[in-house]
Amino acid sequence: MSLSNKISKILDYFQRPEKTSRCAKERLQIIIAHERGSHNKPDYLAALQQDLLNVITKYVAIDREAVKVELERKEGFSVLELNVTLPNLE
Amino acid sequence: MAKIIVITSGKGGVGKTTTSASFAVGLASRGYKTAVIDFDIGLRNLDLIMGCERRVVYDFVNVIRNEANLNQALIRDKHIRDLFILPASQTRDKDALTLEGVSTVLEELSKTFDYIVCDSPAGIERGAQLAMYFADSAIVVTNPEVSSVRDSDRMLGMLSSKTKRAEEGRDPLTEHLLLTRYSPKRVARGDMLSLSDVNEILAIPLLGVIPESQAVLRASNSGDPVILDKESDAGQAYLDAVARFLGENVPHRFIEEKGNWLKRLLRFKEKEIS
């Protein structure tokens, strides 16, 4: 073991691990802000997925599993991710 | 007219029944005639915490169904003359509670009591909704832990929309935060949400902080609410919280780590550096 390695090990010993309480607070702030705004609204993701599927099948023959809708909540905004796997068009 | 207080949390196991028992004892020992009602139908536990489990004959559901009158069902506390317990039914299902039934019981109690403490069950089902429906004040019991804080926020949403006061457009009920199982040591280490973290997120007035304490388990073992253990930190914290609830200005305790000055100095230095 090199000297610098030893020193860094010793320093590590004195370093505090990352504080999980900060992580807890941030996660709570995001999820609660989101739930306060939306907990009375219906869960529309399933209906949205069905509608998207209907629109896409008007143009391309795809199967039901080919559309994935995901929602990620971030601070101040949400990301709606739409993932469509189209069949190989040859 | 009695003042109706609901002790609620959403999440189970955070200290609702412990708090209901101690608050009821605290209010009654100040001379207010107090009734404490267990709304947890099918899973009653307030009787155990209050140490009157062997004296239960009739219960809340018997009264609602007119199988017994209120005076037969109320159990006088073994320590304090002005304190009465209305136990939940242990056998019937939770749908036995009805809005009319609860309303009638609370109205009758209101004629002679000063305070009615409603010990809510966990969850957001009928029992929890009825426990909060008629309330004038709510004490939201929260642990410094993510799932408890989230559930408390959900309960605050329900308190502001699904209570009689909200439906009738009257003044909203008063909300109080009671942070329980708090460990200043773990907060200082960064392993636990701090009082100010929780306060910032839930944004309701702080009634008190109950430290994590061995006295709480000892109290439930013996069936004497922890507020009676006046030597203990938790007992004193409950006494303080009751005093604050009654409008007294009592400084908060048990929110700083006990310990030697060297540790604190080191921690202070560390904060300065980071």
pLDDT digits (tens, 9 = 90+) for A32-79: 888 887 654 556 777 777 788 888 888 888 877 777 777 777 777 778
Residues facing B116 on adjacent strands: B4, B35
Asked whether residue B234 carries a pLDDT value surpassing 80, the answer given is: yes
Would you state the pLDDT for residue A54? Answer: 85
Query: Does residue B270 carry a pLDDT above 60?
Result: no
Region B118-144 average pLDDT: 97
Give B187's contacts in chain A (Cβ within 8 Å).
Answer: 21
d(CA B191, CA A18): 9
Residues on chain B touching A16 (C-beta within 8 angstroms)? 189-190, 270
Chain A residues whose CB is inside 8 A of the B153 CB are 32, 35-36
End-to-end alpha carbon distance in chain B: 55
Q: Please compute the mean of the pLDDT values over residues B77-84 and round it to a whole number.
A: 96
Q: Scanning every residue of chain A, which has its alpha carbon at the shortest distance from the alpha carbon of B156? A: A36
Closest CA to B22 of B106, B102, B66, B83: B83
- Chain A residues close to B189, C-beta within 8 Å: 16, 19
The nearest CA of chain A is from the CA of B193 a distance in Å of 5
Higher pLDDT, B269 or B172: B172
Q: Minimal Cα–Cα distance from B37 to chain A, Å?
A: 30
- Examine the pLDDT at B48 and tell me if it is beyond 80: yes
Query: Cα–Cα distance between B274 and B255 in angstroms, integer?
Result: 23
The answer to whether residues B2 and B114 touch, using CB atoms and an 8 Å cutoff, is yes
Cα separation, B128 vs B119, whole angstroms: 9
Three-state DSSP at B5 gives: strand
Sign of the torsion angle spanned by Cα atoms B183, B187, B190, B193: positive
A6 — pLDDT class (breaks 50, 70, 90): confident
Q: ipTM for the complex?
A: 0.80
Measure B190 CA to nearest chain A CA, in Å.
5
> Does A19 contact B153 at a Cβ distance shorter than 8 Å?
no
- Residues with Cβ within 8 Å of B79's Cβ and at least 6 positions away in sequence, in order, are B25, B224, B228
- Chain B residue numbers with beta carbons less than 8 Å from the beta carbon of A32 are 149-150, 153, 201
Which residue in B150, B154, B190 is closest to A21 by CB distance? B190
Q: What mean pLDDT do residues B26-38 have?
A: 98
**Residue B207, H or E segment:** strand B206-211
Query: Residue A36's pLDDT is what?
Result: 81
Beta-bridge partner residues of B34:
B83, B115
Query: Inter-axis angle of helices B126-133 and B99-112, to 10 degrees?
Result: 40
Q: What is the pTM of this model?
A: 0.82
- The minimum CA-CA distance between A55 and chain B, rounded to whole Å, is 36
Q: Which residue has the tokens 């599993």?
A: A65
- B35 or A75, which is more confident? B35
| Chain A contact set for B154 (CB, 8 A) | 35, 39
* pLDDT score, position A71: 75
Where do we find the tokens 């030597």?
Answer: B231
Q: How confident is the model at residue B265 (pLDDT cuts 50, 70, 90)?
A: low
In this predicted structure, what is the pLDDT of residue B170? 93
Tokens of B224: 């004497």
Residues above pLDDT 90, as percent of chain B: 89
Distances (CA, A) of B273 to B21, B57, B137, B259, B269: 45, 63, 44, 22, 6
d(C-alpha B136, C-alpha B117), whole Å: 10
Give me the residue from A16, A19, A29 closest to B201, CB to CB: A29
pLDDT digits (tens, 9 = 90+) for B187-229: 999 999 999 999 999 999 999 999 999 999 999 999 999 999 9
Collapse the DSSP code of B174 into the 3-class scheme (helix H, G, I; strand E, B; otherwise coil) and give the result: strand
Residues 6+ apart with CB under 8 A from B69: B63
Contact between chains at B193 and A24 (C-beta distance less than 8 A): yes
* Residue B143: strand, helix, or coil: coil
- With CA atoms as reference, the chain B residue closest to A27 would be B146
Q: What is the DSSP letter of B55?
A: G
